[in-house]
Amino acid sequence: MFGSNNHAFAPETDAGMLGHGIADPDQIEILAKAVSDYCARHRIVADDERERIAIKVMCLFRRGVIEPLQLSEELERVR
């Protein structure tokens, strides 16, 4: 079991994400939608390309980007 100083879940950071880049369920939904919307807009259907976009989204998330509009704008910028 966990000791009194250990936590089962990582603490939330200033960027709104859980520690160590862990997303909560609402954030996962936002991130997944960002990937889906971007891929639909650019007609990306290949799994390897979708995975590349998902990795970009996770990198943005780790930098604290979680707002849907900002995710979309950043994805267009790093295209």
Identify the band that residue 9 occupies on the pLDDT scale cut at 50, 70 and 90: very low
Query: Which single residue is written with the structure tokens 């390897």?
Result: 48
CA–CA distance, 70 with 43 (Å, rounded to integer): 20
Length of the chain equals 79
CA–CA distance, 67 with 75 (Å, rounded to integer): 12
Domain ranges of the chain: 45-79
pLDDT, tens digit, 9 for 90 and up, residues 22-39: 889 999 999 999 999 999
Query: When comparing pLDDT for 77 and 13, which is higher?
Result: 77
Identify the band that residue 51 occupies on the pLDDT scale cut at 50, 70 and 90: very high
Q: pTM above the 0.85 mark?
A: no
Q: What is the mean pLDDT of residues 3-30?
A: 59
Burial level of 39, CB count in 10 A (0-12/13-18/19+)? middle
